Structures are given as C-alpha cells and as structure tokens.
Amino acid sequence: MLFYMISIAVVLIDQISKICVRIFMELGETVPFHRLLEFTYIENSGMARGLFPGYARLFAVIAILFVAGIMYYRKKGELRGKWMDIGTGFLAGGAIGNGIDRVIFGSVTDFLAFGSGRGIMNLADMAINIGVLCMVFAMVRAYVMERSEHKQQA
C-alpha cells in the first residue's frame, strides 16, 4: 500500500507543480527564490540535461516499460520491504509524472535550478533521485543485516 500511496502522491504533486509553472510563468522566465534555488521554466524534449532532444515519445515508452518492470519485480517478490516500497514508489511516481508530460506535450516541464551548471529539473526528477537513494539504502541495509546474521551463525 505504501508503494501506491507514494506513487500517486508523487504524480499528483509533480503534475500540479508543472501546471502552476505553465500557468504562471513564461517559457524561459527565471524567478529567483533563494540563493541556492531559482525557478527557470523550460520545456525539455530529451532526457536529463537536455540530452537526446526530440525523443520525448521514445522516453515515454521507456518510462512505461520501466514502471512495468517495477510492477513485475514487486509482484514476483524481488522488491520487498519498507525501504524498497518507498524507493520504488518514488521511482514509479517520477517516471509516470515525466511520462505524462512526454505523452501529452512531447516534452517535460522543468523549472528547478539549483545553482549554476547543475541543470534544471522538476519534482518527478527529484522523486527519481530520492527513489534511487532509498533503494541503495535498502540494498546496503539488507547486505549488512545478512552479513551480521552469517557472523552470528558462525
């Protein structure tokens, strides 16, 4: 249940934030927010940092396959535990959020700029990063627990 709640929350928050950016900002506009963050509205038809521009529809298909893979491995029991649920929830929600943009608009709305030279991202991208960190944490935690169990048995 945690997986679905996080996925749905990520998609909703991501899509609402992108709608607000499209309504209240002009394409290319920058609004300083904090010394570490500014809002800069761009449309990205490629992937991270604008790589492979014009392939948004292809990346939408990849997002669908990615989420299908997550669902398959969850059903199979390969991705289990609270931290895996959290991580995969953020990953799936982020992939779906950006996938929606790619299917409907042919590009992804990006607007979060953290310092110069770090690129511009959106909340779905942030969710994907959080998901990866949670999954790495879950794998490291499982590894450490497994090693400590082996040491106790020896």
Reading the block at residue 10, the tokens are 């990520």
Q: What are phi and psi of 42, to 5 degrees?
A: -135, 160
d(CA 115, CA 123): 16
Q: Please identify which of the residues 14, 85, 101, 110 carries the catalytic annotation.
A: 110
Identify which of 141, 62, 128 has the alpha carbon closest to the alpha carbon of residue 89. Answer: 128
Is the separation of the CB atoms in 90 and 131 below 8 Å? Answer: yes
Q: Please identify which of the residues 14, 85, 101, 125 carries the catalytic annotation.
A: 125
CA dihedral (143, 93, 128, 52) positive or negative = positive
CA dihedral (22, 23, 24, 27) positive or negative = positive
DSSP H helix total and E strand total for the chain: 4, 4
Q: Is 14 a catalytic residue?
A: no
Q: Is 85 a catalytic residue?
A: no
| Active centre residues (catalytic) | 110, 125
